[in-house]
Amino acid sequence: MSAVKCDILITGAGLAGLSLLYRAMKSGIWKTEKIIIVDKSDKSGNDKTWSFWKTVPTDFEDIIHHQWKDLVFYSNDGKKIPLKNGGYTYNSIKSIDFYLHIISALQHYPNISFVQDDIIDMSSSAGECKLITPSATYLSKYLFNSIYIKPQLLKGEQYFLQHFKGIRIKTDQSAIPVTEAYLMDFRTGQEHGTTFFYTLPMAKDELFIEYTLFSASLLPLAEYDRQIRIYLTEILKIDVYEILEEEFGFIPMTDHQFKRFEGNIIHIGTAGGDTRASTGYTFTNTQKTIDKIINSVQSNGHPFFETENISVKAQLYDAALLQVLAKRKYEGYQLFYDLFSKTSACRIFAFLDAETSVFEDMHIMKSLRVFPFLQSFTAAVYKRLFPSKM
């Protein structure tokens, strides 16, 4: 069987892979390159919801399903904190809307081919990439990989999961008791680790809620459903509702240092380290990485870049937070309450997007208990400087 040759391979037709190809074609690069994108799914279902904050328009304004300007935080003991989010809005995109919009746009380009297949292996050698699937072997100059595989952790590296069960419901009760987006609602048990709800009103009779945990392992599936029922009936006082959609997933939260480049393979999305370890948010960082790739192709003729959006400073902050949560010397529900009750949300969003100075970081850190973070931050710095001694 002869190899299929092309200029660019993209593995994974999810957020990262499709965003890269869509934005690259809009920018005018790769118009003459032969491009093949491979994914085992046909992307015909709504398998997730992407949420993110922003201050400026994105390339995906037409498919933002809902946007909220009024955001609140609820503490574990029920204190409500309206968030001062400045010019930030909170936004959600349904994956099916994203898939249909992007794939429809890309199908107009004759140089792009979609392949539905599993991926067995990928490699790069002597300036050429090889991708092996059960049905073919593909060769290209560059390969952009967005398929995440749990890395082999080094000694001392931390690995948490942000795992979640989300449901969209319709209720014929007079009106749902939610007029703002609950960015974090900690009015739930904390026995499994840092646990909260995202609660997003879609209409006066429609609500999306997501039970979310930061912990090392998943729960039995029935436990997610049980906690959602408790939250709906006891906290929101909704006891009659219809479930319209469900989603389940998990996102890695780790201080592992992902490789961005392996020869001519460029890892993007979670596979390339674009997930912020302290929050699990990936959307904005992925778009910033795509900015760098497109700018480098336009300026230098290749997709390689030097400076990561999630800097070493931000990575050390994340590593410190993960260690604090792991040791549970500073419970997550208390940590986030201290953060949001003493610091404006717009500062926190900028910090989590790695857009703050050291001076601004110190201002934010003042809202938290100093000793647990100082101890963990020192350990994170030591591990980064002397990895062989861990």
Domain ranges of the chain: 159-254, 312-389
The segments of the chain whose pLDDT lies below 70 read: 1, 173-175, 388-390
Fold of 159-254: Alpha-Beta Plaits (3.30.70)
Distance CA 379, CA 383 (A): 6
What is the 8-class DSSP label of residue 188? S
**Would you state the pLDDT for residue 319?**
93
Evaluate whether 295 touches 306 at the Cβ level (below 8 Å). Answer: no
pLDDT score for 231: 97
Order of strands, sheet of 4-5, starting from the edge strand that comes earlier in the sequence: 4-5, 137-140, 128-132, 121-125
Q: Per this entry, what is the length of the chain?
A: 390
pLDDT in the model for residue 390: 57
Six token digits for residue 158: 């931390």
- Cβ-based neighbours of 144, under 8 Å, separated by 6 or more: 8, 9, 10, 11, 17, 20, 265, 266, 267, 268, 293, 303
DSSP 219: P
Q: Can you spell out the DSSP letters for 92-120?
A: EEEHHHHHHHHHHHHTT-TTEEEEE----
Helices vs. strands in the chain: H and E counts, helices first: 9, 20
Tens digits of residue pLDDT in 66-84: 999 999 999 999 999 999 9
Structure tokens at 43: 């992307």
pLDDT at res. 174? 62
Question: What's the CA gap between 224 and 189, in Å, rounded?
Answer: 12
CA distances from 370 to 180, 335, 342 (A): 32, 11, 14
The pLDDT score that the predictor gives to residue 268 is 98
Q: 318: Cβ–Cβ under 8 A, 6 or more apart, which residues?
A: 255, 276, 277, 278, 310
Segment holding 296, helix H or strand E: helix 283-300
